[in-house]
Structure 1
Amino acid sequence: MSDPLQKRRRRSRLMTYGAVAAALGLTAAGVGVAQAAATPAPLSLVAATGQVTAERYEDDGESYLSLDLGLHVIAGKDPLEIWAKRTGYDKPIKAERVVVKNGKKTKVTVPAELVPDFNGLKDFTTISIADPAGTVVKEYKTPFCGNGYSSARTRPDAPAANPYPQGCGGYNPFTLGAVWGVQAGWDARVDDYPVYDPDAESFDLPVGQYTATATVNPVYQKLFGIPQAQSTAQVGVTVVEGDTDRGGLARIKAADAGQAAAAPDEHSIHDAEGDAKRQVSSYVNELRAPAKRPTPLKAAPSGGPRPDLRSLPAWEIALEQEDGKWYVNFGATVWNAGTSPLLVDGFRRTGTELMDAYQYFFDAKGNQVGSRPAGTMEWDNREGHLHWHFTDFAQYNLLDSTQKLSVRSGKEAFCLANTDAVDFTIAGAKWRPENTDLSTSCGANTTIAVREVLDIGNGDTYSQYRPGQSFEVTDLPNGTYYIQVLANPEKKLAELDTTNNSALRQIILGGTPEARTLTVPPVHGIKG
């Protein structure tokens, strides 16, 4: 069974294939030089090349298409920057564009109908694909957020760094706030696949010649002041049979199924440094923990910045039967809404599979000012793990209708990583965290110290099919239950507030022992 969380990112996986080469091609195509020579448009839509080749595969009666049109939006003399936020799960998203006027930043409201969710600006681009006779064979609209994984500056006078996040941040149904942007003089990839629809057939084109025309839709041309001449790009497309010997079919099938082609990851898929307001997070420039405990350890200060761990309601909940037993699987997210990152260093007890964990504290400038013991870390040698787990981060409980404990999840330890942009609009949010997956977190068994971090505005998600993300309900009676996601269960971590550590999600078990059923009511209209 494929992971639905991964499926939601199918489109972005397909887009990123060949993205680096395409981004580098912008300057080769003359875009950088041309724009540096004159005052650039506020935004421009460009194609990196005039001709691309798409590979088509067939397997077991299904077709798969690897298409990269190489479309980019380039920002002019000022960045494109949009903040989107909702104050509650049942509240609409309010989006504002940051505009620079006379050297000062002001905010302009973006029409609500253009931002129905956190996946970006709705229907930003129309892509029309025509055959040699000029007959349109495909036409669809794509969203745009600007937060690219392969963004680069396209002219010599552009700023040296891109502050904006990587990824739109809309796949977690309980996202609260996002920031989207394109740095001045930098490019951002434009989605060139239709929005993913699990009920639709795979996107496909027969072998042959086509012309793809991409156009920024009129509402955005007017909103952002995009000249008509800079709002359209055209690309010739040659569709050929793919070479399966090069692993193309495996790659495209994995992307189409929403499965990562890389090694298995215990987390969901993990997705720039900002201005002076974000300097509190500067500590993370070095993710490795020191080799030994500081001597002496400074006591935790009585005041100052602190993390604030908050749990989101369980999501993507599903019923599964395995070896004659019934399980409720779920995804869970704990995020940091505080004024300081949560930073925990582990120091190995020589010759053992245990580390002593310490939480560290920082002042408003990001200087380390103290620490305190925070439990332990343990080495997890199970397949799919093979890293250090912090044992005092969260707990999952299944409560009965009176909210008394029925079952405790087997998941009791965690590798901290910044997997989700839960709310990048809060003060001090780290837009570009460094430890976003297990390749940048949690260490190997040959290490003597580990640093695990949860940055401001970021969440740590364990998706529903990861080991321990379940409750066995085989012998539980039918009725109403609550999945509890509980952060900092033993209160060993110092926080701003511990009253918001618990989140409950109602579920209803039914059916018979042979055919159990599961109903998951929405939370404030959210069905995720």
Structure 2
Amino acid sequence: MTDPLKKRRRRSRLMTYGAVAAALALTAAGVGVAQAAATPPPVSFVAATGQVTAERYNYDGDVYFSFDLGLHVIAGKDPLEIWAKRTGYDKPIVAEQTVVKNGKKKKVALPAGLVTDFTGLKDFTTISIADSTGKVVTEYKTPFCGNTWSSARTRPDAPATNPYPTSCGGYNPFTLGAVWGVQAGWDAAVQDQPDQDGSFDLPVGKYTATATVNPAYRSLLGIPADQGTAKVEVDVVDAEIDRAGLARVKAADAGPAVTEDEHSKHDAEGDASKQVSSYVKELRAPAKRPTPLAATPKGGPRPDLRSLPAWEIALSQEDGKTYVNFGATVWNAGTSPLLVDGFRRSGTELMDAYQYFFDAKGNQVGSRPAGTMEWDAREGHKHWHFTDFAQYNLLDSTQKLAVRSGKEAFCLANTDAVDFTIPNAKWRPDNTDLSTSCGANTVVAVREVLDIGNGDTYSQYRPGQSFEITDLPNGTYYIQVLANPENKLAELDTTNNSALREIILGGTPEERTLTVPPVHGIPG
């Protein structure tokens, strides 16, 4: 499943936790109950507080920096909603804003250049940080998409729920469409650190951060002129910390932040059993085996599994052997979620799997056997794998099998928003990580789901996710990502289940080289 450092999501070692608390503190900026009585502007830009403390943790040369300016965008009486989509990987992204006029929704194209990738509105905010003498020590721009885990309603008359995704997306290079939004009367945190590799850091001292919304966005979104800029005093302090405290800091950094890699987080923990208590009711499998239909219901909604080309491909060496590692994504472009329940065979570490089917109204109309689930006790796993979801092959230049990956079973989870603009895409899937989808060894049943528009990415760092190429001759090969390899799952179309990615092996046995030609301009 689906980072700019160790994909699934690459994260800076610097911390940005505290957004939830900042969201709840919005009343400090005068945007709470008192504002409900007045007609709010279409979009507001505010700082939750005028002063924050940033803590630097230095442990054996590793610096962890807790930095949160508490910047927020708040939607007015209507949601702020933007759809971004491309028709092909080599095509530009086109973005449209959903606006409400005379009670009717319509889409209005955004000016070209404001959206160039799937991380959000480009250069939404300029943040300038000056030291105590007024000298600017750093200045940078940040994007904004609106989707955030920490969103909360800011006035009592706001809707009770937020339909928009919890993260911005854009980490999977093969994303096709995204939806960004801020619910009416709700807030969304504004990114306050630059997009960069390495660490963003400030020495101990006092600073003033000035955040300014790009004038083009102030005009486009209707942000009042007097709300285009926010200033926050920042006090950077040293924080002494012991080993246990540092562990808590790292744990906070690995929480449900906007760029968390869900598969990596829980696989690294290696103990999904500790997470089973977080199962939500609707994701629990029924206690009894179903009576499968004699045949799959004819017609009606179906999932459509589509494989994406392998990505983040690299060489690695271990114990004198050479491997090709890769990330792989299979996503659901169909008209129904893929829902598979597993029922444990008593006293064994094996489950019987069933695929369920639904009508256009979402009512369950049938099921059929779909292979098995098995308990994977290896370190880095320790959860239930559905054995018939996908397969990875390394093919030679004639596209005949050369090596098969040891990774042939999967825990399904909605890790990547591949295309949230297709009909009935699930913007806020319940099943997003191992704690909500893979189960512990103490369960009698488990449910694994891949929702519409969502992809399941396994990164090159997962155990078994590689091909050993130590003794393979140099030449051209193809990494094949193959969904539904035994056709045990019923879906709309099986012609799009295979994706090939060309690689070229070279060098010497001691120093192999790897070349990955781009696909539609997307590097390997």
TM-score computed with the length of structure 2 as normaliser: 0.92
Q: What residue in structure 2 maps to residue 162 of structure 1? A: 162
CA change 1:291–1:253 in 2 (3 A) is closer
Q: Structure 1 residues 160, 119: closer, same or farther in 2, change over 3 A?
A: same
For 1:10, which of 5, 9, 12 is the aligned residue? 12
Matching residue of 1:192: 192
Q: CA offsets, 1:132-176, max 9 Å, x none? A: 222211111100000010100000111111000010110000001
Cα distance between partner residues in 1 of 2:522 and 2:361: 38
Q: Name the CA shift for 1:129/1:261 in 2 (closer, same or farther; >3 Å).
A: farther
Query: Offset at 1:107?
Result: 0.7
Structure 1 equivalent of residue 411 of structure 2: 415
Map 1:121-520 to 2 at 5 A.
121-196=121-196, 198=197, 202-245=199-242, 249=246, 264-266=265-267, 286-295=282-291, 297=293, 299-520=295-516
Deviations 1:62-87 (A, max 9, x none): 64422111111101111110000111
- CA deviation map 1:426-463 (0-9, x unaligned): 00100000110001012111111111100000000101
Change in 2 beyond 3 A, CA 1:393/1:62:
closer
Aligned partner letter, 1:350: S
Task: Judge conservation of contact 1:58–1:64 (CA < 8 Å) in 2.
Answer: yes
| Contact in 1 for aligned 2:263/2:415 (Cα 8 Å) | no
Alignment match, 2:276: none
Percent of counterpart pairs with the same letter?
81
Contact 1:120 1:144 in 2 (8 A): yes
Q: Which moved more, 1:259-268 or 1:82-91?
A: 259-268
Q: Secondary structure at the match of 1:14?
A: coil
Deviation of 1:225 after TM superposition, in Å, equals: 1.6
Q: Pick closer, same or farther for the CA change 1:446–1:319 going to 2, 3 Å.
A: same
**Whole-Å separation in 1 of the counterparts to 2:415 and 2:260:** 16
CA distance in 2, matches of 1:262, 1:403: 30
Q: Write out aligned runs for 1:80-119 (5 A).
A: 80-119=80-119
Q: Is the 8 A contact 2:5 2:11 kept in 1?
A: no
Matched residue of 1:112: which SS?
Answer: coil
- SS of corresponding position for 2:435: coil
Paired residues of 1:93 and 1:112 also in contact (CA < 8 A): no
- Tell me: CA distance 1:2–1:131, structure 2 relative to 1, closer, same or farther (3 Å): closer
Q: Is 1:3–1:465's contact at 8 Å kept on the other side of the alignment?
A: no
1:74 and 1:208 map into 2 onto residues whose CA distance is 31
CA contact (8 A) 2:394 2:404 kept: yes
Distance 1:222 1:374, change over 3 A: same
User: 2:214 and 2:378 mapped to 1: Cα distance?
Assistant: 50
SS of alignment partner, residue 493 of structure 2: coil
Distance 1:410 1:232 in 2: 54
Instruction: List alignment gaps of at least 5 residues for structure 2.
Output: 270-279
Unaligned 5+ segments in structure 1 are 269-283
Whether the 8 Å contact between 1:424 and 1:457 is mirrored in structure 2 is yes
Using the alignment, how far apart are the partners of 1:139 and 1:3 within structure 2?
A: 24
Deviation, structure 1 residue 298: 6.8
Does structure 2 conserve the Cα–Cα contact (< 8 Å) formed by 1:64 and 1:203?
no
Give the SS at the match of 2:219.
helix
TM (norm. structure 1) is 0.92
For the residue of structure 1 that corresponds to 2:436, the secondary structure is coil
Amino acid at match of 2:203: P
What is the rounded CA distance, in whole Å, between the counterparts of 2:435 and 2:263 in structure 1? Answer: 11
SS in 2 for 1:5: coil
Shift of 1:400: 0.5
Q: Cα deviations across residues 353-404 of structure 1 (Å, max 9, x unaligned)?
A: 1111110000011000011111111111111211111110000000001111
Q: Which moved more, 1:296-305 or 1:162-171?
A: 296-305
- CA gap of 1:19–1:424, structure 2 versus 1, over 3 A, is same
User: Equivalent residue of 1:125, what SS?
Assistant: strand
Q: Does 1:33 align with 2:33?
A: yes
SS in 2 for 1:446: coil
* Contact 2:336–2:358 (CA under 8 A) maintained in structure 1: yes
* 3-state SS of 2:113 partner: helix
Checking the alignment, whether the CA contact within 8 Å between 1:54 and 1:67 is kept in structure 2 is yes
State the 1:294 CA deviation.
2.3
Q: 1:297 to 1:243 in 2, by over 3 A?
A: farther
In the alignment, the residues of structure 2 paired with residue 324 and residue 506 of structure 1 have an alpha-carbon distance, to the nearest angstrom, of 25
Contact 1:209 1:238 in 2 (8 A): yes
Q: Structure 1 residues 340-349 or 222-231, which shifts more? A: 222-231
CA contact (8 A) 1:85 1:176 kept: yes
User: How well do the aligned residues superpose, as a CA RMSD in angstroms?
Assistant: 2.3
Give the number of equivalent residue pairs.
Answer: 507
Instruction: State the one-letter code of the partner of 1:137.
Output: V
Q: Structure 1 133/480 Cα, relative in aligned 2: closer, same or farther at 3 Å?
A: same
Encode CA deviations 1:193-215: one digit per residue, 9 max, x unaligned. 0112x2xx521211111111111
The DSSP-based 3-state class of the residue aligned with 1:114 is: coil
